[in-house]
Amino acid sequence: MEFPENVESREFGYIPFGGGMVRHLSFRNSGEASAEIFKQSPSSVYCSNARYEYPARPIEEKGWLGAELIFDIDATDIPTPCKRGHDIWYCEKCHASGKLPRPPKCPKCEGTTVEFHGICGVCLGAAKDHALRVMAFLEDDFGVSRSAIRLYFSGNRGYHLHVFDSRFDLLDQLGRGEVADYVRGDSLPPTQTIASILRRRPAGAPAEGEGWTRHVTAYVAERWPGYDGTLRKLVSEAIGSQRALVDSSVTTDVHRVFRLAGTLHGDTGLCKMRVQPDSSFDPLKDPVVLSPKPASISVDFYPRFKLGGKEFGPFRSQTVELPTYATIQILTRGLGEVA
Ligand SMILES: [Zn+2]
Ligand SMILES: [Zn+2]
Q: Which of 77, 129, 181, 247 is catalytic?
A: 247
Distance 84 CA to ligand 1 centre (A): 21
Q: Smallest Cα–Cα separation from 52: which of 64, 43, 60?
A: 64
Q: Which ligand is closest in space to the CA of residue 127?
A: 2
Give the pLDDT score at 208: 87
135-158: b or e for each residue (b if 16 or more CB lie within 10 Å)?
A: bebbeebbebeeebbbbbbbbbbb
Q: Please give all residues whose CB falls under 5 A of ion ligand 1, grouped by chain where several chains appear.
A: 91, 93-94, 96, 106, 108-109, 111
SS3 119: coil
Distance 93 CA to ligand 1 centre (A): 5
Q: Is 87 a catalytic residue?
A: no
Q: Which amino acid type is present at position 184? A: R
Q: Which amino acid type is present at position 142? A: F
Q: Tell me: the pLDDT tens digits for 211-240? A: 999 999 999 999 998 899 999 999 999 999
- Per-residue confidence of the chain (339 residues) as pLDDT tens digits? 999 999 999 999 999 998 999 999 999 999 999 999 999 999 999 999 999 999 999 999 999 999 999 999 999 999 999 999 899 999 999 999 999 999 999 999 999 999 999 999 999 999 999 999 999 999 999 999 999 999 999 999 999 999 999 999 999 999 999 999 999 999 999 999 999 999 888 777 888 899 999 999 999 999 998 899 999 999 999 999 999 999 999 999 999 999 999 999 989 999 999 999 999 999 999 999 999 999 999 999 999 999 999 999 999 999 999 999 999 999 999 999 999
Burial class (CB in 10 A: 0-12, 13-18, 19+), 42: buried
Helix (H) or strand (E) holding 13: strand 12-15
Q: Is 247 a catalytic residue?
A: yes
Give the pLDDT score at 18: 86
Give the pLDDT score at 134: 98
Distance 74 CA to ligand 2 centre (A): 12
Burial class (CB in 10 A: 0-12, 13-18, 19+), 238: buried
In sequence order, the 6+-apart residues with CB closer than 8 A to the CB of 281 are: 128, 153, 275
pTM across the whole model: 0.94
Separation in Å, CA 330 to CA 63, 136, 265, 274, 308: 41, 36, 14, 25, 15
Q: Is 186 a catalytic residue?
A: no
Q: Which amino acid type is present at position 294? A: P
